[in-house]
Chain A
Amino acid sequence: MDDIDAMFSDMLQEMDLLTQSLGEEAESAPLPKPASIPAPQEMNFSIGFTDLNASLHEMEDNDLDALMADLVADISATEEKFATDRDTSKGSAPFAPIPIQPQSNFGLPASTDTSKPATSSNSIAAPPPLPASKPSKEEQEEQIKADKIKLALEKLKEAKVKKLVVKVEIMDGSSKTLMVDERQTVREVMDNLFEKTHCDCNVDWCVCETNPDLQTERGFEDHENLVEPLSTWTRDTENKVVFLEKKDKYEVFRNPQLFYLWKKDKKSQMDMKEKDKEQLLEENFCGASIIVPDLEAILYMKEDGKKSWKQRYFLLRASGLYYSPKGKTKASRDLVCLVQFDNVNVYYCKEYRNKYKAPTDHCFILKHPQIQKESQYIKYLCCDDEVTMTLWVTGIRIAKYGKQLYENYKAAVRKAAGTATWANRTIQASSSASTPSPTPKAKAANGHAPQLPKDTKGPGNQTSFPPPPPSMETLPPPPPDPMLPPPPPDPMLPPPPPAPPASTAKVNKFPPPPRFPQSSFPPPPMDDLPPPPPPPEEAELPPDFLPPPPPSFAPYGGDSLPPPPPDPITSLPPPPPGPQNFASAGGAPPPPPPPPPPPAPAPAAHPSGSVRKMPPAPPKRTTPQQTAPPGGELMSELMTAMLKKRSQQ
């Protein structure tokens, strides 16, 4: 058993390397081999990874064989040059486990795929220097080498970036699935959603998290990262991410008097002049320190572990939520701090009258975001009416986030105002327009990814999904020829494989983009698409389906379309053929030398990849899928698969 353990851990490392080197391999592959071969090979890799993620159990023997072969081949090839790199990857936990996915709930291979594409596009980016400069060769080479090393490291880093596939429910009952990168803020995610849903971009739109266990709902703040809170969800969670308009999100900035002058009578609140509102905002949000509304009221608090609700006189201060204990004055020194806001978030609750016998249904709780179930560490509070509840929840948000909230609001207003022009621009500029984002690469990756998953996952969409040709299903992906493995899979020292071939290879697989129904997608791509005739199977696909090239790219392609996808390319210096921008990049590169890889294996593998992905039934919940689950799982998965295979033999 120990031997096997050791072997697997070795393999794990190699797989990490593979993930990085995939891009290069893709490039390098075509060179030495006939055009037809590289394609399948690349596919095999991706299949290996994706399927691993999806479900090792579903792997066919052949797949497994292929995977093993790949691994073995690559191990030998990479071993020497990667000494340093390997250390790193060993050291870096997040990287290693990537391919491992708790197979059960995820329909898709989230992280691996995305990171892979990202990397591959990166790697493509790198080569350009090659052809560009020829002067002093040695220097040049050295430079290139250095660049590559750096690039490889960057890719490593990139690969560490966690990504989630998130299904976002929209109020009309539909849903959108998108890939979210851990560096993306909710604001950026919402911008994506705006583009996808074509709703007006008013400031009230909000990405919410709902927890049916606790019956809570919380709107994420625009500056938060989405991945972090979602990754704390449990695996079997029923939590959802919902995209909806919430009027109270920024109400405090439209009508600050409702919060800051809440004691005044309703009439004078309504009569508030704009000028006075501005002044209120100025006073409370623009000074040296944020002023929190001076809320005080009798609220009900659920006692720790008890069922009863007790009335207490509560006060909100910038430093926390306080109440005055029985028999004491409400002087500051006597106040008891119920909770400070550093580590907790505030959640609206639903129907607590039933659930916890609360005096009213206007309840909110304060809890650490990681707590997902009923717990003594949750503070339950109940207000007399909805207005009071909104007042307190908003007050707590101000105390917690301070000026940031106001910044978010201003950004949201700008966004809403600029929507019209932006929309136009995006339509015209199409895919080449990149959404402003601090993480263009990541975004690019994610931009693509979402769509496909949605197609695959969404029950409604399933019909449109082209039934994979039966033949393909039976067709096992051609075991990668061990001999074939691209010469130096080493990402650090990739032989100077001409970038173009690689790109073309990808392009080949690419279904012509024009098929996309999405309006935002520019029609031109069709013309620009010089690439080889679509692979045979493509014809069978319904128009709206974008068959992903190699499975790994699949998640991408789909998504990239609807929104002017922030494509990776824009962020990348050279015009590497990004999967999605067939239009510009795909067409631009030198004429793809190798004709489409029509040979049977290629097409077969192709769909099979996508087919494979389908089986893992779309989990109903919107669970953000954890991309990098603990490493142990992969191991055991691999093991069981291996054992199974062996026993069969």
Chain B
Amino acid sequence: MAAWDLSVSVEELGSEAPPLKVSVTSDLHIGGVILKVVEKSQIKRDWSDHALWWEQKQQWLLKPSWTLDKCGIHADARLCLTPQHKPLRLLMPNAISVRLRVCFSSPVFRTVMGICKLLNIRHPEELSLLWPVEGKKKKKDKDVEAEVYDITCSPLPSSTILKLANGMPAFYAESPETEAVYKMLAVSQPAPAPETIAKMYRTTNVMEKAQINSRWLDSSRSLLQQGVKENDKLQLRFKYYSFHDVTPQTDVVRLTQLYEQARWAILLEEIECTEEEMMVFAALQYHIGKVSLTEQFVASSPAMDDLDSALQCLEVKMEGESSADDMLETMTAPELHDYLKIFRPKRLTLKGYKQYWFTFKDTTISYYKSKEESCKEPIQQMNLKGCEVAPDVSVAGQKFCIRLLIPGAEGMNEVYLRCEHEQQYSRWMAACRLASKGKTLADSSFSSEVQSIQSFLAMQKTTPSNNTAQTDESINTHSLVSPRYQKKYKPKQLTVRILEAYQNVAQISLTDAIQKFLQIWQALPDFGLAYIVVRFKGCRKDEVLGIANNRLIRIDLSVGDVVKTWRYNTMRQWNVNWDIKQVAIEFDGNVNIAFSCVTADCKIVHEYIGGYIFMSTRGREQSDTLNEELFHKLTGGHEAL
């Protein structure tokens, strides 16, 4: 049995202080060492979170009952007594930074579970940590350090975290500051200034996108083992694009962060979409931004939900039992009438706009020569059901036109209606939109439709000073689209395009809008693909492997085309040869592929595939207990065995 002096540095004594020397024997267990060190340090404090870190071997000594012998520690070992939980700056998907204490000693998978517990995000297995991009820092803007929201006061994730009735973890309620942090997490952020978007790092091709995936941390090792230091900056992101059991009531933060991640992916063109899709995304962003300002934060409470639904029930009931008077009321539809100008480009006349007396009833517009003649046969009637409605508006030019494409047996008839002023326009426009959906003026959404049109018009009125983020009414439409479209269109042109898309979403609630955004995002063809540059066995050039939640794809770099698709359900097994860094996969029907990874460690590829397989094992039974062991089995590689 050997006896020697073990040198242990204690972080609490300061980095300058010489390491303490404690005399130990080889059969002393780790717990004993810690005890001796603590005694010698003569510091009185709670040491429960501390553990020994073996610097040379880059490993934690977390088993107090193991002897030094068993751990393989000899006289040359330099140990360090350090807290397991340390503060870390986390860059959230919504681009704000949160400072919180995370576990540096457990595998990253467990660490992320802890983080998600503090942040109130369910299904932490879908998220992971990665190193942020080392942006090409231009000197002038290097100090614009974003504000960091501090919640290091929170209890350790290992303790039980109480939740308030609205689902918010209790500790956030302790001070107004922390409550504000929770709000940052749970409510989507206002649209960023266009410059911010333009300035951010963007990937321009598959190769660059593949680089992103080299930055993921290893889930089976601890932060400290991977060189993460106290107060370092890491990104928290949804990694596996397989979102299990999303329920808006309990997933406020999760849904918001997911939306933010999706939004930034769109704005930064991490995922490509068409112009039409971009406009829908922009309209939804605008809508979400607007509604979040008013609808804030109430969505989370289940109790409130109950109340809401109860109220709704009551409403429905009352509607059902409405008196005869009410029924009469609803059956006498309101009307609009006014002098408007009409123009039909189809007839090749140069007359332009002509004024008539218009009435709008049910879903039909009729016009007469004058108000006095409105009791006679109208000159024409146009039923707007199923028609297309588009704005043709310029606030500056005081031009308020409604473009209608009215379907008829022979084709579409193009008609322009010109209104005198904004109020008139918003009423007629709202009526046209409702009518195109087959709703009448009596529909309850009429007034809100009018309002949303007016508020959108306001966007055109305010000259967007470039740096303003979204406030109540004004917004720069450039904040809603990727730089490509910022360059392509002027804000006013964009307003028109976005308005077109907006009319389909203007009436939906915040949660629905977020979910719709996510749905469209998930329906994009390239959704959920993680790219890795690989070299297939026997090939001489690099190719790209795309990993999705149900398949692997092989992309030819020169053409950019998908050459081959393999689905997981035909996969027999996959193996990693850690020595030559090669992944080999066998599929049904004797299909074997093997490749080495160029841009990322093969552990990352291995983890991706195993991770997706793990995600697919999650049942519908909604058990919130996470099968950590299985995850490590599937993703751990040789270290797990």
Contact = CB atoms under 8 A, between A and B. Distances in A.
A157 B141 CA distance: 67
B331 A153 contact: yes
Interface in B332-366: 332-333, 361-362
B619 interface: no
B328 interface: yes
Interface footprint category on B: 35 or more
Nearest to A154: B327
B411 A88 contact: no
Interface in B165-191: none
Contacts of B556: none
A291 interface: yes
Interface hub of B272, B275, B411, B515 (most chain A Cβ within 10 A): B411
A247 B411 CA distance: 31
B550 A283 contact: yes
A156 B331 contact: yes
Contacts of A371: 407-412
B407 A93 contact: no
Contact of B408 (A88, A268, A343, A370): A370
Contact of A287 (B333, B407, B522): B522
A279 B522 contact: no
Nearest to B565: A263
B87 to A, nearest CB: 35
Interface in B97-125: none
Given A337-B276, A376-B411, A91 B522 contact: no
Contacts of B328: 84, 87-88, 153
A335 interface: yes
B392 interface: no
B523 A289 contact: yes
Contacts of B523: 289-292, 317-319
A270 interface: no
B72 interface: no
Contacts of A84: 328
Instruction: Name the residue in B276, B388, B570 with the highest tally of chain A Cβ atoms < 10 Å from its Cβ.
Output: B276
B332 A319 contact: no
A238 to B, nearest CB: 12
Interface string A325-339: 000010111010100
Contacts of A263: 565
A84 B324 CA distance: 11
Interface in B378-437: 386, 388, 407-412
Contact of A319 (B277, B484, B565): B277
A335 B412 CA distance: 25
A333 B386 contact: no
Of the candidates B273, B361, B523, B565, the one having the most CB atoms from chain A within 10 angstroms of its own CB is: B523
A156 B327 CA distance: 10
A464 interface: no
Interface residues of A, number: 53
B522 A288 contact: yes
B274 A93 contact: no
A150 interface: yes
B489 interface: no
Given A370-B409, A373-B409, A157 B522 contact: no
A340 interface: yes
Interface of B is mostly: mixed
A340 B409 contact: no
B276 A340 contact: yes
A232 B327 CA distance: 29
B569 interface: yes
Nearest to B516: A289
Interface string B507-536: 000000001001110111110000000000
B272 A375 contact: no
A276 B275 CA distance: 35
B71 interface: no
A280 B510 CA distance: 31
Contacts of B4: none
Contact of A343 (B274, B386, B484, B550): B386
A375 B560 contact: no
Contacts of B333: 91-92
B494 interface: no
A276 B570 CA distance: 9
Contact of B327 (A153, A288, A343, A632): A153
A191 interface: no
A234 B409 CA distance: 7
Interface string B594-605: 000000000000
Contacts of B569: 276, 279
A417 interface: no
A537 interface: no
Given A88-B332, A373-B409, A373-B410, A319 B276 contact: yes
A377 interface: yes
Contact of B274 (A146, A232, A337): A337
A372 B589 CA distance: 51
A377 B406 CA distance: 11
A369 interface: yes
Contact of A337 (B275, B412, B525): B275
B411 A375 contact: yes
Contacts of B519: 288-289
Contacts of B520: 289, 318-319
Nearest to A319: B277
Given A288-B243, A318-B520, A331-B272, A88 B412 contact: no
Contacts of B313: none
A149 interface: yes
Contacts of A245: none
Contacts of B386: 232, 343, 368-370
B280 interface: yes
B246 A375 contact: no
Interface in A132-160: 146, 149-150, 153-154, 156-157
B47 to A, nearest CB: 47
Nearest to B408: A370
A376 B410 CA distance: 9
Interface in B223-265: 243, 246
B377 interface: yes
B380 to A, nearest CB: 13
Contacts of A268: 589
A146 to B, nearest CB: 7
Contacts of A91: 331-333
A368 B272 contact: no
Contacts of B332: 87-88, 91-92
A468 interface: no
A498 interface: no
Nearest to B589: A268
Contact of B246 (A87, A288, A292, A342): A288
Interface in A79-96: 84, 87-88, 91-93
A157 B331 contact: yes
Nearest to A337: B276
Interface string A346-386: 00000000000000000000001111110111100000000
A263 B524 CA distance: 19
Interface in A54-107: 84, 87-88, 91-93
B412 A322 contact: no
Interface string A447-467: 000000000000000000000
Contacts of B362: 93
Contacts of A544: none
Contacts of A322: 274
A251 interface: no
Contacts of B277: 317, 319, 332
12 contacts: A87-B328, A93-B361, A150-B324, A150-B327, A156-B331, A276-B570, A288-B243, A320-B276, A333-B272, A337-B274, A368-B386, A632-B377
Given A93-B361, A156-B331, A332-B526, 5 more contacts: A234-B409, A288-B515, A333-B273, A333-B484, A337-B276
Q: Which 6 A-B pairs have the closest CB atoms?
A: A375-B411, A370-B407, A289-B519, A332-B272, A372-B409, A318-B523
